[in-house]
Amino acid sequence: MKLPIVTIGLLGPTLDQGRTKDRWNYWRPTISLFQHEDFLIHRLELLYEERFQALADLTIQDIQSVSPETKIQLHQIELKDPWDFENVYSALFDFARHYPFNIEKEEYLVHITTGSHVAQICTFLLTESRYFPAKIIQTSPPRRRSDDIKGEYRIIDLDLSKYDKIAQRFKKEHKQSLSFLKSGIETRNQKFNTLIEQIERVAIHSTSPFLFMGPTGAGKSHLARRIYELRKSRGQIKGAFIEVNCATLRGEVSMSTLFGHTKGAFTGAVKERPGLLREADGGILFLDEIGELGLDEQAMLLKAIEEKRFLPVGSDQEARSQFQLIAGTNRDLGAEANRGTFREDLYSRINLWTFYLPALKERTEDIDVNIEYELEKFAQTNNMRVTFNKEAKDAFLKFAKSEKALWKANFRDLNASITRMATLALNGRINVTIVAEEIQRLLHIWNVSKGDTTLELNEWLDPNQLKALDLIEKVQLKEVIKTCQQSRNLSEAGRTLYNSSRELKSTSNDADRLRKFLARYNLSWEGLKK
């Protein structure tokens, strides 16, 4: 059974008026809806402004003369400015939200021909988003003067699921975006693929800060640049991609590097410097290892993110920059915020979109395709194509996916490993001998490093000292040595090791406490860092 048709439309104060005396000789879009013998509209919901009341009454009169079966209901709406997007959208949105749609008993059409261009856009958006659960009807005037004055009409269904070619095109573009973010690597790890899908959606639809967490070498910097290139290819940004590793910023230079300075702001400031935030205006600023920033720089950065303005060093006039921030870190910023070493308000601001990039050991099924990717990069860089023979490839993959392969620097380790083997390959073929040598090289790099978790205390203590230690002391001392080797300075190591007890003291000298602890075993900070 065919449902009765209800049409919703705006009164067109220009086109619907025609000329009062001979108006039947002019095409009027709202009237034309009712001049087609094969098309019956059961009810018209006509939206109009109070100032066009006379035209609305005349339109009703004319509709009833050509389609007496049609019921007409008038709805007065307030459009202060028909070219103001917010005003028009709000008025139409309010109507849609309060209208008693009954899609089981009626079929709805939205007439999109009348009204300002802004009104037509708003009507389309509300229909496409299903606030108007309707199809669109569009009317058009006769093509030639000799044609019937009623013109033509066309009904458009915005349910894109019915249009296979359009849906396939969207799907293809989505796949291309995902592949682009993964540098064309057909990754197999399901968690990673899901992660990239989420990042792609957010990158296209949001300009809020990103936070990439994960170990060093997991690909944070590479992914940030791919996001920039994706957004730029879509015309969403025009500025540059500016990258800085915050671990390289120290002291007064860090403020100047990020926020710029005026001439003469400090000793050595012989000319003005714009700073990286201004260089990233209209583009993306990638702050790698953001956890290394000092608290003062963090406070300035928070203001710049929220207000898009900041004070260069030595200036009393604020600078402005519309940049999108992507931050990277291998630290637990939440824990650091709790300890007071990272600003809690900044962490909250950049924590809207946080993504954890897994280590290579968490993606062993992707090692094979990443090896091929690294070989392709080597070929492009060195103009020489290198491949594995089958036995060598199998041997390397077996090792790469085993527990022995630590991949401590993640993809940096893999890149270095493939580069070494490809360079040593005679006649462009990596053989079993080259693989065996590389495996031993990697094991040496990972296991001999003094910062490794498998370190032995006999590297630091003599046999008599070791014999006098209980097992619990050995475990504790190993953890202390490992923390010292992973820290930038004695104070940082002390804060990490005394993270709880330091909160109970009114004043705390963690560096001194750690130095005294090491002295009990005849160890020193300087000796451990050699």
CATH assignment of the domain containing 405: 1.10.8
| Co-location of 39 and 152 in the same domain | yes
| Co-location of 134 and 198 in the same domain | no
| Co-location of 120 and 52 in the same domain | yes
Q: Which of 448, 478, 499 is the last residue of a domain?
A: 448
- Which residues form the domain of 121? 5-158
Question: How far is Cα 400 from Cα 509, in angstroms, rounded to an integer?
Answer: 44
| Co-location of 279 and 381 in the same domain | no
Residue 164 lies in a domain: no
| DSSP one-letter string for 432-445 | HHHHHHHHHHHHHH
Q: What is the pTM of this model?
A: 0.60
| Co-location of 320 and 186 in the same domain | yes
| Co-location of 208 and 347 in the same domain | yes
Residue 452 confidence (pLDDT): 42
Long-range own/partner contacts, residues 153-159 (CB < 8 A, 24 or more apart): 153/32, 153/33, 153/36, 153/39, 155/109, 158/127, 158/128
| Co-location of 83 and 116 in the same domain | yes
CATH assignment of the domain containing 214: 3.40.50.300
CATH assignment of the domain containing 123: 3.40.50.10770
Residue 262 confidence (pLDDT): 84
Closest CA to 114 of 6, 37, 4, 17: 17
Question: How far is Cα 346 from Cα 306, in angstroms, rounded to an integer?
Answer: 10
| Co-location of 154 and 212 in the same domain | no
Q: Which of 448, 467, 487 is the last residue of a domain?
A: 448
Residue 304 confidence (pLDDT): 93
Full pLDDT tens readout for the chain, 530 residues: 689 999 999 998 888 887 656 788 889 999 999 999 889 999 999 999 999 999 999 999 999 999 999 999 999 998 888 899 999 999 999 999 999 999 889 999 999 999 899 999 999 999 988 899 999 999 999 887 666 788 899 998 887 666 666 656 666 676 777 777 877 778 888 888 898 999 988 988 888 999 999 988 899 999 999 999 988 888 888 999 999 998 888 766 788 888 888 887 777 777 888 889 999 999 999 999 999 888 989 999 999 999 999 988 888 888 999 999 999 999 889 988 998 889 999 999 999 999 999 999 999 999 999 999 999 999 999 989 999 999 999 999 999 999 889 999 999 999 999 999 999 998 899 999 999 999 999 998 887 444 443 456 777 888 788 888 888 888 889 888 888 887 878 888 888 888 877 666 666 688 888 989 998 888 888 888 76
Q: Which of 158, 190, 210 is the last residue of a domain?
A: 158
Residue 163 lies in a domain: no
| Co-location of 108 and 189 in the same domain | no
